[in-house]
Structure 1
Amino acid sequence: MADEMVRKAQQFINGVYGGKLGIDRLPETGETGWSTMFALTRALQYELGITSLSDAFGPTTLNTLTSKYPVLNGATVPSENFTKIIQSGLYCKGYDGGDIDGTYNSRVASSMALLKQNMGVDFVYPGGNLVPKVFKGLLNMDAYVTSNGGTETVRAVQRWLNGSYVSRRDFYIIPADGNHSRDVAKSMLFAVQYELGMADGTANGVFGPGTQSGLKSHTVSTGDSGPWVQLFSAGMVLNQRPGVSFSGTFTSSLASAVSTFQSFVKLPVTGTGNFSTWASLLVSYGDQSRNGEACDGVTKITAARAATLKAQGITYIGRYLTNPIPDDPDLPEKEIQPGELATIAENGLRCFPIYQTFGRAAANFSYPQGRAAGQAAINAALDHGFKPGSRIFFAVDFDALDEDVSRNVLPHFKGIQDAIADDGNRFGIGVYGPRNVCTRVGEAGHATASFVSDMSSGFSGNFGYPLPTNWAYDQIVTRTVGSGAGSINIDINIASGRDTGQGSFNAPRGQLPDTSLDSDLITAMRTDVGKYMESIGFPNDGGLRSHTHEECFRRVVLEYDSVTTLLAYRYNMRKALIQTTAYWEMRHIDPIDLSVDAEVALEFLTTRSFRDSSTGIGQIFGKTAVLAWNHAVRKGYAEGSIRDVTDDEDKYNIWADCRHDDQFSMSTVPLIHLWNADGAPGADEEETPLRSMRLNYTESETFQILRRYQGTNAEAIEHARQRMALYQIMEKYNSISRHN
């Protein structure tokens, strides 16, 4: 909601500092935001005589302010504009700043006293004066009253931290809004270091060897009191332990809550604040000297390595279902290797499957990509021999902000869930990622267990978030264990017992060539394909498109099943590549496409001039068809004559064949795939050649083939992401058919 005084503050900045701050004119919306706070920070720097202005209220700003104006009040403020910056900041924070008239009057002083009280620093900085660290806290978006679902208990911790340690050089005022956060978590580490006696400059807010060593001699237990108990109870509060109050006395009630927490995170239950418990409260990975019953890694489990893991007390092993990078020289054994699951079972170990393609940016997550991931993981799990009932952990391996989770990750997992459900829920769904990701995916009902990437302690989704209640594996440290042939580098995971993987497996499915579609699967395949297309905005009745789902499925998948089977066998290609492309293109034909086809044909017949367009069920351009067929003839993929790619008649004739002859169009689709795999020679934009076409193409190679069919632009990339899910559905039924 717009605030007229905030609008007046924005008008002040624009009027006085327009063109001077190195930023665009502020929108005079009356709404507080970072752009306004950044402008006020730059205005302060300008008034301080700092020549290199920035959005950050950093050391230069703080030190210059401290040296020039260590205490600001009605008697010391240097100018009206300086005061107006203060008044504007107060209004942006929700406090009375007077009339933004440049006067540090009683209203300003009263608001300053209230601000410091809300921060918790009023005993350190009494009265209505403004000091540099409070000024820094004034010009940011932190709140100092309970907001956004915060609690008064957490706020009490925040105010206590501010009041207790703000006088230390590197401690800055943190929010007092009742919500745990990265800044609050780091302030806890500073506080621990200060209580350990570390000097300014040594204390750094990092859970390093000195901090860990010091904490080992500061166990707290029932009957203790003082700042160490306050810090420990603060850690319990910030980790959202139920029934815990912020206190300076270690009561029997706190001891009971500690025992419950230790049991939850799988620590020895002592009811005392020992080092391991301190570590679990302060950093996501906790005490990294712990041994876990689980591990995950990118190295094949041999008999010798299995013996090493058993000797380490490990039972559960996480291994990857796929490796998206073909012949990956850096991670040659990332994907489960032939015979590996049998070795795991023979040695009394258990395996939980992990599915990860790239997954290192928000753009890799969406509903269609989730549908593709879900079905790809099912196909891969069955290929390796996992039996129904196993839970597959789908990876979110990046520092997903909360808005990334809402916008990308949750729709992605809804796609995974829909794919798993459409498969009959043969496999369970787990999520691998930071704490916030795991918690939110679980609370949304998209996963039943979490594999928490707590080793990535700097992720914003780990800093300040408690361990998810449904955690199954907690990844805490990387170690190399064993020696000689038994040596293996692994990530150590604490296991909760919520997931136990599988200890016996079916024989792996081999890479067989495709066969005719099993007639018993047609109805289910038709339903799955139609359901997915509807989920991404293509109604089964065709909507504004020219062809219905039923028509496209019948013509592409059913009528040409024998043709695509033969083509796939001939070219060592998966049928799903041909089916997906042709079905997708046919579903996209609309009345405009048909009209353009008619115009192109008429123009050529009357002028003998060919204006190229995409046509037929494969929506193929004449030039593309010529290049693909010529390439196929030269490479021995197909028989025929070489056409002239510069000749309008040659291009028109093959274009007309693609338009009128569905079988010719279907036969051209795999030739375009082969041409694209070889780098699309002769195209306006040639591409990097892929490995030669083969049945075990990785998902990244499949994606490239689907994307290249449409080109190189953003639409081609987005459509390829959507078609990957369609491909996996097609592949699901082809896979069942060839293994029956």
Structure 2
Amino acid sequence: MADEMVLRAQRFINTTYPNMLGIPKLEENGQTSWTVMYALTRALQLELGISSLSNNFGPTTLNALQSKYPVLNGSTVPSANFARIIQSALYCKGYDGGEIDGKYNDRVAASVSKMKSDMGVAASFPDSGSLYPKVVKGLLNMDPYVTVNGGSAKIREIQQWLNGRYIGRQDFFIVPCDGHHSRTVASSMLYAIQYELGMADGVANGNFGPGTKSGLASHTLSEGSSGTWAQLYSGALILNQRAATPFTSVFNSTVASETAAFQAFVALPVTGKGDFSTWASLLVSYGDQNRRGEACDGVTKITPARAATLKAEGIKYIGRYLINPTGGAPLEKEIQAGELQTIADNGLRCFPIWQTYGRDAEGFNYPAGNADGLAAVAAAQRHGFKTGARIFFAVDFDAYDYEVTDDILPYFKGVEDAMALSGNPYRVGVYGPRNVCIRVSEAGHATASFVSDMSSGFSGNYGYPLPASWAYDQIVTRTVGSGDGAINIDHNIASGRDIGEGSFNPSRLDNAPDVAFDLSSYYPAMHTDISTYMKSIGFPDSDAKRIFTHTECLETVMAHDALITSLSNTYNMRKALIQTSAYWEMRHYDAIDLTVDAAVTYYHTGVGGDDISPVRDSSTGIAQISGDVGIRAWNYCIGKGYASGTVLDPAKDADIWTMWHKVNQDNAYSVRTVSLIHLWDAGGKPGGNNGPDGETVLRTMRLDYTQKEIFEVLRRYQGWGDEAEAHATKRMALYQLFEKYNGLSRMY
């Protein structure tokens, strides 16, 4: 909703500083935002004589303000525009800024006084209506100083107390007073601890280092303790969602009982005392890293000697990966042959982890979740995990909250739907930072969390509590054992919410060649599964936009099963690669494609109408193959001895027409050409349109291609760029569905 005074503030910036701030003109919409605050910050820097303008109100801006105008009020404000910056910022923060008329009048002074009271710093500065440099820094940001979005009054009280007590310290700046825990508040707590330990300005740094740990070890609190340390401790409990805790300077019976409850929740010894381990768990995500947990995870094979080491360490539960998505180092990341039986024979249990190669938000979306869910089911069954096991799907990066909303939650909905499509053989867990685990669990997409708490600096860990759904809490990496029993592990605390698996079905390392599809047994289920998936990404079984229905596409592909099986066996290529590309392209065939087909025919034969514009080449036929691509793929494979035939020249119209007409008219020829294009793709597409960086050469085609290699082959079939990446992500789930039923045919 537009605010008239914010609109006037935006106009003031645009008219007073045109093309002077190094940023685009502000949109005059009457809505406050970081963009507006950045503009006001730059305007202030300009008024201070700073030549290099920045969005950041950093040390240069603070020092310049402190040096030139340590106190700002009606008597000291240096110019009308300087005053207008202050007035505009007040309106953007929700306070009365007067008329934005360049006058630091009584209305402005009253608002400044109110804001300082809301910040909790009123007593720290002598003149209630004056602005001081650190208060100006707090004015020129988006931090609220009143509760918003259901903020807690207790947390706001803590925030105000921190501001009031420590604002005089060099590196302490005003924190929001919105009633919500955050990264900023968590950092301020560490600064407060360090100040109370007697660390000087410049030494205190907000890090949980050796000096802080040593100091906390000598500040154990128990019932009857009082003073600032008790106040900080009660605040830390409240920030960790022990809401019944009073914010108090006395460690009373309620604080003691809430301490005991917190200790039980995070799996610490329940003493009711504020000892070092409890302090550590309250202040940083990994807590006391000297703790010994009952769980671990790692990328190293569990041998009998290593199993003995882990058992001697008190380990019960071991996290191991279902796949090694890249096939490269670490070579033992995927569960190795016989490993699960070794784990079971030694009385240990294993919880499976699924992780592909997505290390940023772009790797997470609904289709990717579908693909990963289906692939994880197949991998878990291949390794021998029984029905009911919980697979932890990894989010191995620092996802910001908006990325959780936009990318991670749709991904886990995709995983959940894929699991349902498979008959729910396994439960879904989430592995990632605290905020990811909290939100995925609260959305109902996961039943337990494996928390990557070692990454304490992650925005998704710093300032967030341990999730209520936590099963494993990853706190430190260490090497244990010696000799053959030495192993590097991530040590985890276990809550008991998940206990892994202690017995397994026989594993089947499925490198067997593909066989003829068992139509009578699996076609109806495959037809339904692919239909369900395609509907989920916007492809109903039939619609007016597309030429072919789902059934027509699938029947066309399966009508060539004997040929596809032969091609698979000849080229050591999974049938699913050929099936996926053919089905996907046929499903996309539409009226525009028919029009272009007519234009190509007209170009080469003259058959058509005057209203047709001739086109030399286009993608055509059930597999949407152009004459150029078909020629280059066949030429490559003829040269490699993969195929026999006549080498054609893509520069010659006659040769383009020869290839184009074949792939347009002969479905079997198109299917065969799909397999050759995949071989060409794996070879780096020599002579093709390979994008600005070219295409790398993959391993020669093989049945054990990694997830990354499969993705690359599917992506290269379409080309390169964002659209090809997005389509390949969607085709990965389709691949997994074809592979699921091909795998069943191989087994039986």
Report the TM range for the smaller structure's normalisation: over 0.9
Q: Is residue 730 of structure 2 the alignment partner of residue 722 of structure 1?
A: yes
Instruction: Give secondary structure in 1 for the equivalent of 2:530.
Output: helix
TM-fit CA distance, 1:624: 1.3
TM-fit CA distance, 1:648: 2.1
Q: Is residue 479 of structure 2 the alignment partner of residue 480 of structure 1?
A: yes
Aligned pairs, number: 737
Give the distance between the partners of 2:365 and 2:183, measured in 1 at CA. Answer: 27
Indicate conservation of the 8 Å contact 1:17/1:43, yes or no.
yes
Give the distance between the partners of 1:439 and 1:489, measured in 2 at CA. Answer: 28
What's the counterpart of residue 19 of structure 2?
19
What code does the residue aligned with 1:193 have? Q
Instruction: Give secondary structure in 2 for the equivalent of 1:529.
Output: helix
What code does the residue aligned with 1:504 have? S
What's the counterpart of residue 529 of structure 1?
530
What's the counterpart of residue 629 of structure 1?
634
What's the counterpart of residue 402 of structure 1?
401
What code does the residue aligned with 2:13 have? I
What's the counterpart of residue 334 of structure 1?
333
Give the distance between the partners of 1:59 and 1:623, measured in 2 at CA. Answer: 60
Q: Is residue 650 of structure 2 the alignment partner of residue 650 of structure 1?
A: no
What's the counterpart of residue 46 of structure 2?
46
Q: CA offsets per residue over residues 607-666 of structure 1, 9 Å max, x none?
A: 999711111111111121112122222222222232233332222122211111111111
Indicate conservation of the 8 Å contact 2:662/2:670, yes or no.
yes
Q: CA offsets per residue over residues 138-157 of structure 1, 9 Å max, x none?
A: 00000000002211111011
Q: CA offsets per residue over residues 263-292 of structure 1, 9 Å max, x none?
A: 110000001111100000000000000011
Instruction: Give secondary structure in 2 for the equivalent of 1:717.
Output: helix
What's the counterpart of residue 662 of structure 1?
667
What's the counterpart of residue 93 of structure 1?
93
Indicate conservation of the 8 Å contact 2:599/2:615, yes or no.
no
Give the distance between the partners of 1:40 and 1:646, measured in 2 at CA. Answer: 60
Give the distance between the partners of 2:190 and 2:207, measured in 1 at CA. Answer: 7
What code does the residue aligned with 1:713 have? G
What's the counterpart of residue 129 of structure 1?
130
Q: Is residue 719 of structure 2 the alignment partner of residue 711 of structure 1?
A: yes
Q: CA offsets per residue over residues 355-402 of structure 1, 9 Å max, x none?
A: 111221111000000000101111111121211111110001111111
Give the distance between the partners of 1:663 and 1:722, measured in 2 at CA. Answer: 25
Instruction: Give secondary structure in 1 for the equivalent of 2:701.
Output: coil
Deviates more, 1:78-87 or 1:174-183: 78-87
Instruction: Give secondary structure in 1 for the equivalent of 2:149.
Output: coil
Indicate conservation of the 8 Å contact 1:285/1:454, yes or no.
yes
Give the distance between the partners of 1:567 and 1:79, measured in 2 at CA. Answer: 80
Instruction: Give secondary structure in 2 for the equivalent of 1:405.
Output: helix
C-alpha spacing 1:140/1:91, structure 2 compared with 1 (3 Å): same
Indicate conservation of the 8 Å contact 1:7/1:30, yes or no.
yes
What's the counterpart of residue 217 of structure 2?
216
Indicate conservation of the 8 Å contact 1:40/1:85, yes or no.
yes
Indicate conservation of the 8 Å contact 2:357/2:708, yes or no.
no
Indicate conservation of the 8 Å contact 2:37/2:142, yes or no.
yes
What's the counterpart of residue 452 of structure 1?
451
What's the counterpart of residue 689 of structure 2?
684
TM-fit CA distance, 1:88: 1.1
Give the distance between the partners of 2:600 and 2:88, measured in 1 at CA. Answer: 65
What's the counterpart of residue 431 of structure 2?
432
Q: Is residue 679 of structure 2 the alignment partner of residue 674 of structure 1?
A: yes
Q: Is residue 700 of structure 2 the alignment partner of residue 700 of structure 1?
A: no
Instruction: Give secondary structure in 1 for the equivalent of 2:475.
Output: strand
Q: CA offsets per residue over residues 344-364 of structure 1, 9 Å max, x none?
A: 122211111111112211110
Give the distance between the partners of 1:631 and 1:208, measured in 2 at CA. Answer: 60
Instruction: Give secondary structure in 1 for the equivalent of 2:123.
Output: coil
Deviates more, 1:190-199 or 1:682-691: 682-691
What's the counterpart of residue 158 of structure 1?
159
Indicate conservation of the 8 Å contact 1:516/1:561, yes or no.
yes
Q: CA offsets per residue over residues 45-100 of structure 1, 9 Å max, x none?
A: 11111121111111111111112211111112212111111111111111111111
CA RMSD of aligned residues (A): 1.4
Give the distance between the partners of 2:27 and 2:543, measured in 1 at CA. Answer: 45
Indicate conservation of the 8 Å contact 2:240/2:282, yes or no.
yes
Instruction: Give secondary structure in 2 for the equivalent of 1:451.
Output: strand
Describe how 1:334-733 pairs up with structure 2 within 5 A: 334-510=333-509, 511-518=511-518, 519-556=520-557, 558-606=558-606, 611-685=616-690, 687-733=695-741
What code does the residue aligned with 1:725 have? A
C-alpha spacing 1:659/1:607, structure 2 compared with 1 (3 Å): closer
Indicate conservation of the 8 Å contact 2:364/2:408, yes or no.
yes
Indicate conservation of the 8 Å contact 1:359/1:395, yes or no.
no
TM-fit CA distance, 1:15: 1.9
Deviates more, 1:476-485 or 1:263-272: 476-485
What code does the residue aligned with 2:362 have? A
Give the distance between the partners of 1:687 and 1:78, measured in 2 at CA. Answer: 61
Give the distance between the partners of 1:700 and 1:681, measured in 2 at CA. Answer: 20
Instruction: Give secondary structure in 1 for the equivalent of 2:268.
Output: coil
Instruction: Give secondary structure in 1 for the equivalent of 2:632.
Output: helix
What's the counterpart of residue 284 of structure 1?
285
TM-fit CA distance, 1:163: 0.6
Describe how 1:262-277 pairs up with structure 2 within 5 A: 262-277=263-278
Deviates more, 1:278-287 or 1:602-611: 602-611
What's the counterpart of residue 169 of structure 1?
170
What code does the residue aligned with 2:706 have? T
What code does the residue aligned with 2:487 have? I
Indicate conservation of the 8 Å contact 1:509/1:739, yes or no.
no
Instruction: Give secondary structure in 1 for the equivalent of 2:739.
Output: helix
Indicate conservation of the 8 Å contact 2:689/2:719, yes or no.
no
Q: Percent identity?
A: 63
Q: CA offsets per residue over residues 404-447 of structure 1, 9 Å max, x none?
A: 01110000000000000111110110000111100100011100
Give the distance between the partners of 2:209 and 2:21, measured in 1 at CA. Answer: 40
TM-fit CA distance, 1:26: 1.6
Describe how 1:158-237 pairs up with structure 2 within 5 A: 158-237=159-238
Give the distance between the partners of 2:170 and 2:505, measured in 1 at CA. Answer: 62
Deviates more, 1:558-567 or 1:395-404: 558-567
What code does the residue aligned with 1:657 have? K
Deviates more, 1:361-370 or 1:607-616: 607-616
What code does the residue aligned with 1:709 have? Y
What code does the residue aligned with 1:438 have? C
Indicate conservation of the 8 Å contact 1:542/1:587, yes or no.
no
Which ranges of structure 1 fall in alignment gaps of 5 or more residues?
A: none
Indicate conservation of the 8 Å contact 1:542/1:549, yes or no.
no
Give the distance between the partners of 1:188 and 1:446, measured in 2 at CA. Answer: 33
What's the counterpart of residue 36 of structure 1?
36
Instruction: Give secondary structure in 2 for the equivalent of 1:123.
Output: helix
Indicate conservation of the 8 Å contact 2:596/2:615, yes or no.
no
Give the distance between the partners of 2:442 and 2:218, measured in 1 at CA. Answer: 38
Which ranges of structure 2 fall in alignment gaps of 5 or more residues?
A: 609-613
C-alpha spacing 1:58/1:9, structure 2 compared with 1 (3 Å): same
What code does the residue aligned with 1:364 have? G
Give the distance between the partners of 1:409 and 1:427, measured in 2 at CA. Answer: 20
Instruction: Please give the TM-score of this superposition, normalised by the length of structure 1.
Output: 0.98
Give the distance between the partners of 2:222 and 2:347, measured in 1 at CA. Answer: 40
Give the distance between the partners of 2:323 and 2:226, measured in 1 at CA. Answer: 53
